Amino acid sequence: MADTKSNPAELRAAAAAPSTAKERLTYLYDDGKYTELDAFASSGGKLCGAVTAFGYVGGEPCYAFSQDVSVNSGALNRAQAEKIAKVYDLAAKTGVPVVGIYDSCGADLNDGHEALTAYGELLLAMSNLSGVVPQIAVVAGVCSGTSALLAESADFTVMSADAELYASPNSGIKSSSDNAAANGTAAVVAASDKEAVEAAKTILAKLPMNNLSAVPAYEFEFPDANNGKDAASLAESICDAGSVTELYPEWGKASFTALATLSGAAVGIVATNKTEAPLTADDCSKIARFIRTCDAFALPVITLVDTTGFEGSDETETAGAVRSMAKLAHAYAEATTVKVSVVTGRAYGAAFITLAGKGANADLSYAFSDAVITPLAPITAAEFLYHDELAGAEDVKDARSKLAARYAVDEGSPESAAANGCIDGVIDSAQLRDTLTSALEILAGKRVSRLPKKHSNIQL
């Protein structure tokens, strides 16, 4: 659709005027300074509804775009799409991350079919760069329809508390930030647009510039002493002080995923005992996506294992629980980044194999001295292995518990697992940070070659 002839004076005035879109870019870039790209790009005689720029974030180069809701409600038209596409083209040429700040009502219907084509081209550009450079989406206002697809195509989506992210405006459920956090759409929810941009910067700081760059390294402070064994406490006790950034805290609530630094080097942390509940389909999806993201950028993954296993019931079996389990196992097995696992509590059967098993799923695997590693859950083993003793018991429930405890001691000790080659060593919690630091250092030169193929066929 041809643009109405632009008035140069009006365009100059509009381009120079302050805007929320520009202000959000000042939140992103060091000292609020950036260089704008294509400032006079227009559609229908007006600016095209997005500000694009480059500058430095934490001292490293970064491209960004920020949709301007004050111009035609930020609606995406052909001119805006071409302006944003140029950012992706430059990022591809230079291997530099992209931050997208979304605030738009959707497509500009005045552009009709051109807008549809523009969306398709942007989705292709984002897909081509996926796993090549980090992409962070910040949803600062309304992000609906195909714009929501663009935002969710990023590696991580951050939302401000008052933002909305949804596919269908007529669904009756406009996805609030709370809903987006609960269903895994948003990795982080911040109180305001400024804090959302700050959260994006925090995530970006723990990712390399591109898939060929070294993992970021920083000066660090040692963590405070913390003897807790829950997921958050363990992460805080081994990682550098103040470095842990939890992602997807309200989704997959039995698991914990975070970016952090350990002895100054960026790492991904997975823990499976955020609650006492077994791992659900949401937990499997949450961890699998996180592992694949870390692997794309060669971030080492530390997995802290303490779980009774995967949720099992008639409902979960009907829903295809094994598909979720296979997805998680596949994500670990496919990842060629450094993988170190520590059994901090319970690890039974398939859960141990998936999360800490040597070979496919862990380069090095350790266990605490009080961990329990068994082929079967102890309570299940009591039924199968000690059936005769249970049959004659006066209090079957009490007898089952005692037999399960005996099985855990006799068959599940970490020393027994180490003797049989299941793990590489037995450590105390006080040794955890030093053990992990040494493991990551010795594995830093890891190289793995896979069979030639387009891509694996992971269960989704």
Break the chain into its structural domains and give their ranges.
8-205, 231-442
b/e code 410-426 from CB counts within 10 Å (16+ = b): ebbbbeebbeeebbbeb
Give the residue ranges of DSSP H helices in 105-264.
Answer: 113-129, 146-152, 177-182, 193-205, 231-238
Q: Give the residue-averaged pLDDT of 239-262.
A: 97
Question: What number does CATH give the domain 231-442?
Answer: 3.90.226.10
Q: pLDDT of 160-196, one tens digit each?
A: 999 999 887 665 665 688 999 999 999 999 999 999 9
DSSP 216: P
pTM for this model (two decimals): 0.92
Average pLDDT, the chain: 90
Q: pLDDT of 15-68, one tens digit each?
A: 666 579 999 999 999 999 999 999 888 776 677 889 999 999 999 999 999 999
Contact (CB, 8 A) for 312 and 338: no
Are 8-205 and 231-442 in the same CATH fold?
Answer: yes
Q: Taking Cα atoms as reference points, which of 315, 239, 293 lies closest to residue 271?
A: 239
Lowest-confidence range among 23-27, 112-116, 262-266, 281-285? 112-116
Looking at residue 398, what is its pLDDT? 79
Structurally, at CATH architecture level, domain 8-205 sits in: Alpha-Beta Complex (3.90)
End-to-end CA distance of the chain: 39
Paired with 342 in beta bridges are 304, 366
Q: Give the residue-averaged pLDDT of 149-157.
A: 95
CA angle 304, 245, 288 (to 5 degrees): 50
